Amino acid sequence: MNERPYLSDTYVEETRIGFRFLASHVWQHHVLRVAINDLRRLFDAGLPKAPVLLDAGCGQGKSFKHLQQVFAPSRLLGTDADPHSLELSAAEARRLGLDVELRGSDCAQLQYPDASVDILFCHQTFHHLVEQEKALAEFYRVLKPGGYLLFAESTEAYIDTWVIRWFFRHPMHVQKSAEGYLQMLREQGFAFTAQNVSYPYLWWSRAKDFGLLERLGLRQPPPFGQREETLVNVVARKPLEQP
């Protein structure tokens, strides 16, 4: 498609190689599935019943199957800045037999009413966004009081490696460490504790050697606190009482 009406200078779109990778089995099985299962584990209370769930940056819709299985939403919404991705998301929803309400919008200008979403899922999208603070404010706005942000991101330590720079495209000046993302969530007003955060150290996130020596049993991975975190997953809640 030549016309891309939802793309703007607030979002850095993926390379062709990256776009194809996002449709691969590796992405679906080793990245998306693992992240959604880990986020489910980070809840310290029961899941919302029949939630309205928004996938912000839904891409090609490869998350829909896992989100439906884990969270059983009453309404599943998806938004993306790329019209072609939305077409592929619609095709994926039809293939799965799911009713997914799709809408084109930039994460910094979500086309949803205030306090209309119970769960907002943002997986590996935030590091593509230039206006991260505006996007996070939009996430906060559309979530209901007590609603949950499921935030899963790669950190600067992973994004700023030669293999990722070679094959993918990102706005490097806004990349953050794990603690940098957590601080941004706190400053926006989201609430979470250490029990709601995880730092997966997965083989694919170690771009220097992809954890090859560990998988061969030749080396133990460095423990938490003695390594640069490559991923951060957070279940953050919008407080019930607003300031």
pLDDT in tens, 184-202: 999 999 999 999 999 987 6
Greater confidence (221 vs 140) lies with 140
Q: Are 14 and 22 in contact (CB under 8 A)?
A: yes
pLDDT at 7 (0 to 100): 41
pTM over 0.95: no
pLDDT in tens, 11-55: 556 656 666 766 677 778 778 999 999 999 999 988 999 999 999
Whose tokens are 């009453």? That residue is 74
**Cβ burial, residue 21 (10 Å; 0-12/13-18/19+):** middle
Instruction: Look over the chain and give the mean of its residue pLDDT values, rounded to a whole number.
Output: 84
Q: What is the DSSP string of 31-51?
A: IIHHHHHHHHHT-SSPPPSS-
Greater confidence (116 vs 170) lies with 116
pLDDT at 25 (0 to 100): 74
Q: What's the count of helices (H) and strands (E) in the chain, helices before strands?
A: 10, 7
What is the distance between the alpha carbons of residues 148 and 66, in angstroms, rounded to a whole number? Answer: 17
What is the distance between the alpha carbons of residues 13 and 175, in angstroms, rounded to a whole number? Answer: 15
Order of all β-strands in the sheet with 143-154: 100-104, 75-80, 52-56, 117-123, 143-154, 231-237, 197-198
Share of the chain above pLDDT 70, in %: 73
CATH topology of domain 106-237: Rossmann fold (3.40.50)
Q: Closest Cα partner for 28 from 204, 231, 171?
A: 204
